[in-house]
Amino acid sequence: MDLFSLQGKVALITGGLGDIGRTLATGFAEAGADLALLDRSLARQAEVEAEVRAAGRRILSLEADVRVKAQVDGAFQEALDRLGRLDIAVNCAGLNVRGPAEDLAEADLETILDVNLKGVFLCGQAAARMMKARGGGKIINIASIGGAVALPSSAAYCGTKGGVVLLTRAWAAEWAPHNIQVNAIGPTYIRTQLNAAFVDRPEIRERILRFTPAGRLGRCEDLVGTAIYLASSASDLVTGQTIFVDGGYTAV
């Protein structure tokens, strides 16, 4: 089981105070990692930090907007300065604005592109520079089933997540000589505070379950095992892959 240990590692998670980010943070802490959590708002800082400290690990919360390079670079540097190293970076920050593609406002389109694609790119750049300097690391991008199949009323979101899937492969090929493994996780619909009103609509839930052989929505906890695997030495020869944690949604 030492293959899956994160003991002595430092992981940085963007969107780290959201439902998925905090769940991954707690899972990483229980596997032995110290945490730096980046988020646009530190409103949930105290409760998330308490969960990580309960596992006996160090935690640092940093306010940063992944769309702004100066903020990204500053936050990554502060994490490195205060925690001493960076072994794992998880690009978890993301959002969706649903609606007919022909009616999507330009401002909403720019926000989706900037957070889901530009933000991932900027954070990957910052992580890779630090990992190259210390001889390797793990980058995990949170993609989506929307990177492989069409989701209703989510054209721009699907476009960005498809971009994340291919960006993962491009980075993997480019950074493999530096011992940096880059992979992605493609979750199905995960019920969170942000999307609960949407996935709880009877017609939406019925459609999701109809396309999901496992017969249920995802939970944040469903992503932890895959994330630990991709963050640990168990996946040292795995790179450029997207693992869909979707109950079979993309298999049918």
Domain edges within the chain: 2-192+220-244
How far, in whole angstroms, is CA 54 from its chain's centroid?
A: 23
Confidence band (pLDDT; 50, 70, 90) for 184?
very high
**Catalytic residue status for 189:** no
| pLDDT tens-digit readout, 33-61 | 999 999 999 999 999 999 999 999 999 99
| pLDDT tens-digit readout, 121-152 | 999 999 999 999 999 999 999 999 999 999 99
Give the pLDDT of residue 145. Answer: 98
Give the pLDDT of residue 1. Answer: 74
Give the H or E element holding residue 223: none
Q: What percent of the chain has pLDDT over 90?
A: 99
- Is the pLDDT assigned to residue 113 strictly greater than 80? yes
Q: Compare 194 and 90 and report the one with higher pLDDT.
A: 90
Give the pLDDT of residue 150. Answer: 97
Question: Where does 2-192+220-244 sit in CATH, by number?
Answer: 3.40.50.720
Alpha helices in the chain, H assignment, sequence order = 19-30, 45-54, 69-83, 106-113, 119-134, 155-175, 196-199, 202-210, 224-231
Give per-residue burial for 131-160: e unless 16+ CB within 10 Å, then b: beeeeebbbbbbbbbbbbbebeebbbbbbb
Kindly give, in sequence order, each residue whose CB lies less than 8 Å from that of residue 24, ignoring residues fewer than 6 positions away: 13, 16, 90, 92, 220, 223, 224, 227
| pLDDT tens-digit readout, 200-226 | 999 999 999 999 999 999 999 999 999
Selected catalytic residue, list 157, 189, 229, 249: 157
State the pTM of this model: 0.98
Across the chain, mean pLDDT equals 97
- Is the pLDDT assigned to residue 188 strictly greater than 80? yes
Give the pLDDT of residue 17. Answer: 97
**CA–CA dist 222, 53 (Å, integer):** 22
Rounded mean pLDDT, 71-92? 98
Give the pLDDT of residue 45. Answer: 97
CB atoms within 10 A of CB 166: 14
